[in-house]
Chain A
Amino acid sequence: MVTKNSVRTATRRWSPLFLGPVVAAFIIGFVWPFLQGIYLSFCNFKTTSNAEFIGLGNYAEAFADASFQHSFWYTAATAVVSLVLINVLAFLIAYMLTQSIKGSNIFRTVFFMPNLIGGIVLGYIWSMIFDGILAAYNTSILLNTTYGFWGLIILMCWQQIGYMMIIYIAGLQAVPEDMLEAAKIDGAGKWQTLIKVVIPNVMPAITICMFLSLTNGFKLFDPNLALTGGLPFIIQPDGSTINTTEMMALNIYNTFYTAGAASRGVAQAKAVLFFILVAGLGLSQLAYTRKREVQQ
């Protein structure tokens, strides 16, 4: 006879078999490299298997690095501006496409499609587009930090608006009809309905979209590499450089691969700081926005 107890015992007995592969893969592919990465940030190393522990020196150097500080502020600016633009535009497009417009399905597909193209490819395509235009004015996106900044913002919007739009559309379609109808009967205008009824109801979608675009903004790497690669640089009097359009991920990559073996530990320390920053920001933002969601 099958009792509740025997099912539970069987589950307990066999669960390692089913969980095992996933847990093992997770440990091998994520937990172990992550822990080793943290360890290496306290080391001086050429290859990862041959590391020498040196304590906090790498962190001190990372904090003192002017190019890393610059990349932090540049990344923060990019993330904030793109967060606002992407979400406002994505919400507007989603709102338009949930009104009954002819061919709204085609529009949804078209807006979503840029998201399917990889960041490197997008970077090169957009660098050609921008330079095609800027060449007429005898300049290039590689020569001007402002162009580099807005170029990247345009690229990010183009890539991510479609994706966020899909999430917003799902949220908008889930707003209960009866609430909208009640608002209408009570004499609410379009604007009031949007602010007082629709937005509180799509707050879960807003939460997830803000979370995604903020972390996307901070973690951005490949479009940054392909579009400007950090150019133009400010050549400082001592000959060192500040790469004016370099975001944090690219700064870490360049420190690891181009600044010589002596800097690999520093790059690792920067990567750990970067993780703490992104994780912290993402979680606190999630917690803050969660509070504002309404329960349906």
Chain B
Amino acid sequence: MSKNLSRRTFLGAAGAGMMAVGLAACSSGGGSGSASGSSAASGGAGDGKVYWLNFKPELDEAAQSLAAKYTEETGVPVKVVTAASGTYQQTLIAEMDKSEAPTLFIIGNAAGVKEWGDYAMDLKGTAIEAELTTDAYNLYDAAGKLVSMGYCYECYGIVANPDLIEKAGHKMDEIKDFESLKAVAEDIHARAGELGFDAFVATDMDDSSSWRVTGHLANLEYYYEEQDSGAFDENTSEITGKYLPNYKNIYDLMINNSLVEPTALATGGHDPSTQFTKGEAAFFLTGSWDYAALSEAQPNVQMIPYYCGVEGEDKAGLNCGTENCWAVNANAPEADQQATIDFMVWLVSNADASAALVEQLGILPYKNAAPSTNGFLNNAADYSDKGCYVMDWATNYQPNVDQYRAALVSALNAYNSDQSDANWDAVKTAFVDGWATQWAAANK
């Protein structure tokens, strides 16, 4: 999931500082509390310790309690600090400078590998690597070092509410490609007054929501380009934008068949997630991390692929990938590295621990982990079983991701207020030329 550095989340930054202090206080308190236990049990545990800098705020509670449990069981002190939403980068820069730097941290995408790869040890041949079921979510650097490994994966696409679609006189099976999606969405929008709900929720362009289109939806363009010219990696210095018209198809459909007028999207504040759970609209762009919240209110929710009008898209599946990849600090003492890897193995193989993680993360790609409970990830698996292609997260290779996306937001804002060709050309410039410019800036 995208973590934009943003003016909205800057609000959280002050809170982040306080939270970090609070958490540090908690965990050091816990540490000293367990110090006596640790000295008693330290016989087999060695003297390593673990400091996990966690990047998912929603995982914090589970992570803290798992850390405490692990310390109780093994005597190894584990400290967990969670960066507040959108402030991971700042927190990591600050924490990595300290003498007690994180031993376990997150390198989630190509930009992260470029920036923090030197700080990560090679995980090849470690005990945690042996636990993996797939190599698909691992990140390597140019030299082939296994920099970080996925500890969960996610999928995104268009979440649909089958109950509303049926109420409008359509069936989920009808939606097989862009044409059919468009027909259903436009029909619902045209009759919104009579039905009492609309097709799409608001596509807000403030920082709490713009990543849905500047990050996730953009993936369809990158993915189909990959099919033409090979998979993206950190050396993908430019893109062609060949499938941008397909992006525009679905983007136009979304903003013009929505609860909210396109001109009102720039400042945001419409809370699309609540619009969806309240049953005000049938379609919503989001991902598997929202399953618990959405299915509680709308139990039959399903996720469908980004249908955008490319050839053969009846075989499209969901966008699967992750930015949740664990890296182990290369500069940490060996004992700490070993303790960290032991802790990771315990997290993904212990029945209770992995079940607690699965509840928060959806699925763990490890041999002995608890099975998934997430409906959207099960949708993704169903598509794969039917022989549909998985769309990988080429989005992760967006260069200087925050600046690249900020430019897109600005261009899309202008387009939303006036859907002219000139304004779309600016979107195209930000999308295609922006990629090359930001890549050059990041690789100078």
Contacts and interface: CB of A to CB of B under 8 A. Distances in A.
Interface of A: 46-49, 120, 124, 127-128, 131, 135, 138-143, 225-226, 229-233, 235-241, 243, 254, 257-263
A175 to B, nearest CB: 42
Q: Which 4 A-B pairs have the closest CB atoms?
A: A239-B433, A239-B434, A258-B402, A233-B410
Contacts of A261: 114-115
A258 B403 CA distance: 6
Contacts of A141: 267
Contact of A47 (B96, B266, B413, B438): B96
B414 interface: yes
A258 B225 CA distance: 26
A132 to B, nearest CB: 10
A29 B403 CA distance: 31
Interface string B415-444: 001000000001001101111111001111
B433 A238 contact: yes
- Centre residue among B410, B413, B441 by max chain A CB count within 10 A: B410
Contact of A140 (B5, B267, B432): B267
Interface in B242-296: 263-264, 266-267, 269
Contacts of B426: 235
Nearest to A227: B7
A240 B435 CA distance: 9
Contacts of A140: 263-264, 266-267, 413, 417
A16 to B, nearest CB: 29
Which interface residue of A124, A142, A237, A261 has the most chain B CB atoms within 10 A? A142
B413 A239 contact: no
B266 A143 contact: yes
Contacts of A243: 406, 410
Contacts of B269: 128
B403 A254 contact: yes
B315 to A, nearest CB: 33
B400 A260 contact: yes
Nearest to B411: A235
Interface in B108-124: 111, 114-116
A47 B435 CA distance: 26
Given A143-B417, A260-B111, 4 more contacts: A127-B267, A142-B266, A235-B429, A237-B433
A240 B437 contact: yes
A250 to B, nearest CB: 9
A72 to B, nearest CB: 19
B379 interface: no
A241 B96 CA distance: 31
A233 B411 contact: yes
Most buried by A among B90, B93, B436: B93
Interface in B152-205: none
Nearest to B93: A47
B143 interface: no
Q: Identify whether the interface residues of B are mostly helix, strand, loop, or mixed.
A: helix
A90 to B, nearest CB: 28
A28 B199 CA distance: 58
B228 interface: no
Contact of A259 (B97, B400, B429): B400
A239 B97 contact: no
A141 B435 CA distance: 27
B444 A262 contact: yes
Contacts of A49: 97
Q: Taking each of B267, B407, B430, B443, which has the highest tally of chain A beta carbons within 10 Å of its own beta carbon?
A: B267
Contacts of B267: 127-128, 131, 140-142
Contacts of A262: 441-444
B417 A241 contact: no
A241 B410 contact: yes
Nearest to A222: B10
Contact of B115 (A229, A230, A240, A260): A260
A132 B400 CA distance: 33
Contacts of A233: 406-407, 410-411
A233 B403 CA distance: 11
Name which of B10, B90, B264 has the most chain A CB atoms within 10 A of its CB.
Answer: B10
Nearest to A139: B417
Nearest to A241: B407
Contacts of A260: 111, 115, 399-400, 403, 438, 441-442
Nearest to A127: B267
Nearest to A48: B97
A105 B426 CA distance: 54
Contacts of A238: 433, 436-437
B11 interface: yes
Contacts of B266: 131, 140, 142-143, 231
Contact of A135 (B5, B97, B264, B438): B264
A231 B97 contact: no
Nearest to A255: B403
Contacts of B89: 257
B6 interface: yes
A239 B399 CA distance: 12
B65 to A, nearest CB: 31
A141 B434 CA distance: 24
A33 B261 CA distance: 49
B410 A235 contact: yes
Given A127-B267, A262-B442, A143 B413 contact: yes
Interface string B103-138: 000000001001110000000000000000000000
A202 to B, nearest CB: 37
A239 B115 contact: no
Given A127-B267, A131-B267, A229-B6, A235 B407 contact: yes
Contacts of A142: 266-267, 413
27 contacts: A49-B97, A120-B10, A120-B11, A124-B11, A135-B263, A135-B264, A140-B264, A140-B417, A142-B267, A143-B413, A143-B417, A225-B7, A226-B7, A226-B10, A226-B11, A231-B266, A237-B429, A239-B432, A239-B436, A239-B437, A240-B434, A257-B89, A258-B403, A259-B403, A260-B403, A261-B115, A263-B441
In this complex, the member of A139, A239, A240, A257 whose beta carbon has the largest number of chain B beta carbons within 10 angstroms is A239
A239 B417 contact: no
B436 to A, nearest CB: 6
Nearest to B443: A262
Nearest to A49: B97
B400 A235 contact: no
A155 to B, nearest CB: 14
Contacts of A230: 406
A241 B442 contact: no
Nearest to A257: B5
Nearest to B432: A239
A221 B255 CA distance: 33
